[in-house]
Amino acid sequence: MKNKYVLAFDIGSSRLRAMVAGKGLNNTFAVKGYKEIEYDGFYEGEFLNPDKLLAVFSEVIKEFQPYLDKIKKMYIGVPAEFSSVAVTDMSINLGERRRVKKDDIDSLYYMAGETSKNAEVEVVSVSPISFDIDGRTTLEPVGDFGTNLCGKLSVIYASKVFIDLFNDVAAQLGFQYVEYISDVLAQAQFILPKEKQDEVSLLIDAGDITTSIAFVQGNGVSALTSFSRGGGFITNDLSEAFELSIKDAEKLKKQVVLSVKGKPTDCYEIPGEAGNMERIMQSFANEVVAYRIDELAEVVSKCIQDFSDEHLSYLPIYLTGGGISKIKGGRDYLAKCLGRNITLGVPPLPGQEKPTLASIYSLVAYAINAQDTK
């Protein structure tokens, strides 16, 4: 049987990633094309130059052309800044005691989607946090016996402004169909260990200009927030603090090691464009970088407090994106601020275990699964 390929787009705050891929051997992907391109991106829920999106997408599509003959649909990841989540409880009476069928689950999903309709947003997905059959909690109800089926369901929305914008881009590129995928949900289902599904986990995706914080349980997202802060703000802080160009500030950020406390006289050395060497005090540079991570830690701590009245003594935390993970010692410093362990969230694929690739591979995995189930 010939492999079917999907075309997925990861809409980052400053980078667009795209991939054409299908199923590979042993739960891997057969990647036919991958493209990463910088663009103007978005800030505080608005695209900075929406009129340029078509040109950016066209550049990507041009490179993928040899693989697009039979691809009529594009899958687009919806960033957290354009998303919202509601948790709802739905139930149906099965009548006589019988086995739960897939149609019963679909009925719960349909009810949740219909109840959650709103003029400003569109429902992107309905996924389960847990099911209850006659008082028994489960994640896999199909085939189980019971009379009453209840579902604690996570409904994820995307803003209609976002949907309309990318529907227009897809139409101008000649695609017949567009399917929208919650970026956070895709990562939650692909990156987090399956054996931890019963527990509440925290997924932090720290990008260049935006960071999302999501609580995950079962196969759903139970709470989600995002704010416009990320690794790009650290670069700007370094640029302003030491009067560096953005390019040199990036060089400095790559040298910073938060896990090492040097001598008071230790410096980072930045090669200047004129051939000179700029010397930056290590302690001062580390302090500038640490400030933004402290800020993130405060937001995360507040989210944890708001999520549960009880102190969550054990809360698995996973960090994806490049905003913090690419800083040497960044993850460890954030973990120290929170007083909790943090695991890097990476694709479970040989050779691709990078937090920066978590989003695009998760979207591809979700798209392939969606294609297979139709």
pLDDT score for 2: 58
Residue 186 pLDDT: 98
The contacts of residue 81 (CB under 8 Å, 6+ apart) are: 13, 42, 44, 45, 210, 212, 226, 228
Q: How far apart are CA 237 and CA 231, in angstroms?
A: 10
Report the alpha-carbon distance of residue 319 to residue 322 in Å, rounded.
Answer: 9
**Encoding tokens for residue 30?**
């057969």
For residue 110, give the amino acid letter. Y
Q: Are strands 342-344 and 317-320 parallel, antiparallel or unpaired?
A: parallel
Mean pLDDT by 10 residues, the chain (374 residues): 83 96 89 94 93 95 88 95 96 92 95 87 95 94 95 96 96 94 97 88 96 96 94 96 93 93 88 80 95 95 86 89 96 96 95 96 95 75
Mapping DSSP onto H, E and C, the string for the chain reads CCCCCEEEEEECCCEEEEEEEEECHHHCEEEEEEEEEECCCEECCEECCHHHHHHHHHHHHHHHHHHCCCCCEEEEEECHHHEEEEEEEEEEEEEEEEECCHHHHHHHHHHHHHHCCCCCEEEEEEEEEEEEECCEEECCCCCCEEEEEEEEEEEEEEEHHHHHHHHHHHHHCCCCEEEEEEHHHHHHHHHCCHHHCCCCEEEEEECCCCEEEEEEECCEEEEEEEECCCHHHHHHHHHHHHCCCHHHHHHHHHHCECCCCCCCCCEEEEECCCCCEEEEEHHHHHHHHHHHHHHHHHHHHHHHHHHCCCCCCCCCEEEECCCCCCCECHHHHHHHHHCCCEEECCCCCCCCCCHHHHHHHHHHHHHHHHHHCC
Phi-psi region of 143 (alpha: psi -120 to 50; beta: other; left: phi over 0): left
Residue in this structure with the two tokens 């925290």, named with its chain if needed: 202
Phi-psi region of 296 (alpha: psi -120 to 50; beta: other; left: phi over 0): alpha
Query: How high is the pLDDT of residue 374?
Result: 64
